[in-house]
Structures are given as structure tokens and as C-alpha cells.
Amino acid sequence: MSSDTTAKPAIPDSCCFVIFGVTGDLSHRLVIPALYNLAESGLLPERFCVVGITRTEMQSKALHDDLMEGLQKFATRPIDKAVAQKLFDCVLSIHADPAEPNSFERLKAHLDKIRTTDGIKNHLFYLAVPPSAFRPISEELGRLGLLTDQPDGWRRLVIEKPFGTDLKSARELNLDLLKIVNEHQLYRIDHYLGKETVQNILVLRFANGMFEPIWNRNHIDHVQITVSETIDVGTRGSFYEATGALRDMVPNHLFQLLALVAMEPPSRFDAHSVRSEKGEVLAAIQTQTEEEALTNSVRGQYVAGRVRDKDISDYRKTAKVAPDSVVETYAALKLTIDNWRWAGVPFYLRTGKSLNAKRTEVAIRFKAAPFSMFRATEVERLSQNYLVIGIEPTEGITLQFNTKVPGPSVTVDGVEMKFKYKDYFKVAPSTGYETLIYDCMIGDNILFQRADSVEAGWQAVQPFLDAWKKSGTNGLAMYKAGTDGPQEANELIERDGRRWRRIDGE
């Protein structure tokens, strides 16, 4: 993520892009389309190859055909056959399985051959696999020295979230991986940070003198962070039973948004400075007792309803879901940050499935001005002052404020000023992975989580996990699919004299 506003993006050094799980859903939907988009934009290295790792023997031609079929299904822009052909011509299929150590010897032999014959000396290992495979694959790569930086070539390892399932497992994963690679080699990828609007939070805050002076407890009443989805759990019943909404979304997606909104200004715009400030603010989230966690949270589970034109059945009737499951499909939390800037400012987070609209946004509510001048105006007519950063489905920024209604009398009403990216910038549709993969290749880890941030996030949510586990069905709120969530979530924020923004509103 370059901070230079004028320079053309640099072309990455030559590299071999090694994908474990190359035939999986993640590769088909996101990784390969992102590589194609980079190729079409001229942002892949001149000397570049893709090594697709499969768990069963597969000819390279068969892998080409499989990847092309996936690209045709999931491409975000029209496919230029020449560009696609050039990309897939450099794809090599190799069988490797941690259960068969000799198969990694073959992988090393192939990479050594590429190094010798093609002169490609840099290796990027992308683990598009379940988290349970992170350790065994990394250990095999480490055993053969494939993750050791060389004087003439770098080695980098990319892993997908989740980074653990609780604080203990996150610490263990970090400890195990950092025995094999150094922190600067490890790229923990979160696709939310590839979204332009998310990255723009940094620019909005620190490149505009009008915002930073009021970005504190003296002027901000509270912050709402919302990630709502209309989709149900679908075919991911077994995954969701082991994960739930809190684990799935809060320590990664929502906390990354929180960190960008709440972090202190970095001393410079580089990976170390930005990641250090993000880690500091996540560590400053107050660790609650289990009793406090129950008071300051709501967990919900959807029951049958209708979302748009689709009928949704009970979560408990989903395949591979326990008929008496207490796993949450909705979570709402009230958090506080124990530092000077944010003392006394609550952060309200919510996320859920089968809700009435798909929306991801950060809403900053400013404190109200004194109303004494406008005694004749009904308080309801005075608009709340919000700065809303829209991430999905509409990318943009909205400022909500009060103004005088035209006419002879002083009548006040709320209005909005809206900036939408599509109105100002002509950007080709993307997967959201392009920036992240490009940054992996150029060695810029500013958008990637560091070990301390991962552990700080789990530290903050661990009391909620423990309290919910002990409470069982007690406190599990049911909500109808197609609504904005359980009523208890409204009560959570309303007891503080505040209200959630409408999920289905503009």
C-alpha cells in the first residue's frame, strides 16, 4: 500500500507463487481472479510462475483447465484470453502432502529447477487451506529450508484467517510459526483490509486537518461498527458450529476496522509504525470480567424468516448443525478503550447473518450541540451528527448535519453530504485481494496483522467466549431472518440513551 500519490506502482521482483489448496474454493473465488486482475493491470513480475500444490496427482494441463473454469465463473471483469493464457501457461502442478514428507522433497526439487533454469529466486508460499494445515505445511517447508531467506532471494508465508480460535490457540499458533519464519516474513491476510474504503480510513483521518483535531472523547459521543449479511450459513454448518459469529468476524474484520478508527497517528507511514499503533489500541481495549461480558453483549441465532425473496429456515435445521445448538449467528458487543483519547467513548460492534440488508460501515457519532438557541425546534428535527464510512455495498463517506430550511422562519432540519467512490474514480471491479497479494510480492506488510495485534484481539473477546460457553442457552436471543437482529441488541445500546443506525437505511 504505497503512500506515494503520483508514482506508478512498482513492478514486483520475479517470484514463484506457490499455492497450497490451489483447487479449493478460496483459490477459485479470490486468489486466481486477483492474480488475473494483477496480470491484466501489468502488475505481475516479468518473470513469474505459479506452482499449484495438490493433494492428489494432477497434470498441469488439467490444473490449467480447472483454474480457467474457475476464472470464467468468478472473474470480476471481462476476461482477455491472451492475458489469461499467459498467466496459466506459467502454472505448474505439483503433488505435495504433509502426510507424505517425500512429496515435499519433490516440491523442493521443482523449485530448485525453476531457480536454476528460469532464474526465479524469490518464493511466496500462500496457504489457501484450513487453519489445521498451517503448522504441518509450514513445518515441512521449514524442515527443507524453503522458508529461510537467502542472500539472493526472499521467502514469504501467507496464511488466511482465522488465526486461532481463542487466545490460547492464537498464542500457540504464533509461537509455532515464529519458530519457522520471522515476523517480517509472515503475512496474516484479512481480505477486509484489501477494500479501498477500509484503507481510506487512514487517509481520511491523517491527510485531512479538519478531522484529527475532533477525533477524540471531547467531540465524539460513540462509534458503531456494523457488518451485516443477508446470507444464511448455507452449506457451512460444520464450520459455523465450531466457530460462530463472534470468532468468525470480531477478532479480525471488526477489530481491524476498530483499530484503524481508534489508533493514534503513526510517526510515519510505514508498516512498523502503523502496525505498532494498531497493536497499541487493540491492547488498550478493556478486558472485561465474565459478568461484565454478559452485561455488555448480546448473542443471537436466527429462526425461519424471509430475506428479500428467499425463504430462510431455522439455523438449527441447517445440515450438520446440532438440533439444540447454542452457537450464535449474531453478536453485538459494547467495548471501551482505556486510553486518553477514547476514555468514556463506547464502541458498539454488531455482526450477523440472515439480516435484512448487507451492510458494512463505521459510523462516528459526534456529540450534540447545545439546543438552547433552537427551543422552538422539536428535538427530533435536529439531526444527529454522523460521519459514516460505507464499505459495503456502497463505498463512500457520508456527513450528516443540520441546516436551515429555506423560508422566512428559522427552521432546522438534517441533511447529508455524500461522497461515493464510483462517482469520482473509475476503478475496475476487483476481488479485494489484488492490493494484498501485490503487497505480499513487494514486501509491504502494512495491511497485515502482527502477532501482538492478533493476541490483543483474542484477549479482548476471550471473556465473551468464556461467559457465553458457561451460560449455555441462557441469554441466547432468537431473531427472525430478514430483520435487523434480536430486540435485545436494541436494548443493549438504548439503555445508554443511544440507538443503532438502521441496517437497511441509506
Summarize pLDDT for 314-340 with one digit per residue, the tens. 999 999 999 999 999 999 999 999 999
Of 53-67, 302-316, 391-405, 408-422, give the lowest mean pLDDT range.
408-422
Closest of 246, 413, 266 to residue 332, by C-alpha: 246
Query: Strand 155-160 vs strand 123-127: parallel, antiparallel, or unpaired?
Result: parallel
Tell me what percent of the residues of the chain surpass a pLDDT of 90. Answer: 72
Asked if the model's pLDDT at residue 495 lies above 90, the reply is yes
Query: What is d(CA 128, CA 19) in angstroms, rounded to the nearest whole number?
Result: 7
Average pLDDT rounded to a whole number, residues 38-60: 92
- Domains of the chain from N-terminus onward: 15-160 (3.40.50.720), 193-495 (3.30.360.10)
The residues, any chain, with a CB within 8 Å of residue 259's CB and separated by 6 or more, are: 278, 281, 282, 453
Query: What is d(CA 316, CA 327) in angstroms, rounded to the nearest whole number?
Result: 9
Asked if the model's pLDDT at residue 8 lies above 80, the reply is no
Q: Is the distance from CB of 368 to CB of 221 less than 8 angstroms?
A: yes
Average pLDDT rounded to a whole number, residues 146-171: 94
Asked if the model's pLDDT at residue 29 lies above 60, the reply is yes
Count of C-beta atoms within a 10 Å radius of residue 243: 16
Of 34-43, 347-356, 422-431, 488-497, give the lowest mean pLDDT range.
422-431
Q: How confident is the model at residue 184 (pLDDT cuts 50, 70, 90)?
A: very high
Query: What is d(CA 112, CA 106) in angstroms, rounded to the nearest whole number?
Result: 10
Helix, strand, coil percentages, rounded to 5, for the chain: 40, 25, 40
- Bond before 346 cis per omega within 30 degrees: no
Cell numbers linked to 314: 431455522
Cell numbers linked to 351: 455482526
Query: What is d(CA 12, CA 9) in angstroms, rounded to the nearest whole number?
Result: 9
- Going by the annotation, the residues of the binding site for NADP(+) are 55, 161
Average pLDDT rounded to a whole number, residues 391-405: 82
- Going by the annotation, the residues of the binding site are 55, 161, 191, 195, 229, 248, 353, 358
Query: Which pTM was predicted?
Result: 0.91
Asked if the model's pLDDT at residue 380 lies above 70, the reply is no
Asked if the model's pLDDT at residue 1 lies above 80, the reply is no
Q: Which residues are catalytic?
A: 253
Which residues face 187 on adjacent strands?
A: 158
Distances (CA, A) of 134 to 34, 126, 128, 441: 22, 10, 9, 20
pLDDT for the residue numbered 87: 93
Q: Is the distance from CB of 341 to CB of 216 less than 8 angstroms?
A: yes
Query: What is d(CA 422, CA 390) in angstroms, rounded to the nearest whole number?
Result: 12
Average pLDDT rounded to a whole number, residues 230-234: 93
pLDDT tens-digit map of 256-301: 999 999 999 999 888 899 999 999 999 999 999 999 999 999 999 9
- Going by the annotation, the residues of the binding site for substrate are 191, 195, 229, 248, 353, 358
Q: What mean pLDDT value characterizes the chain?
A: 90
pLDDT for the residue numbered 463: 97
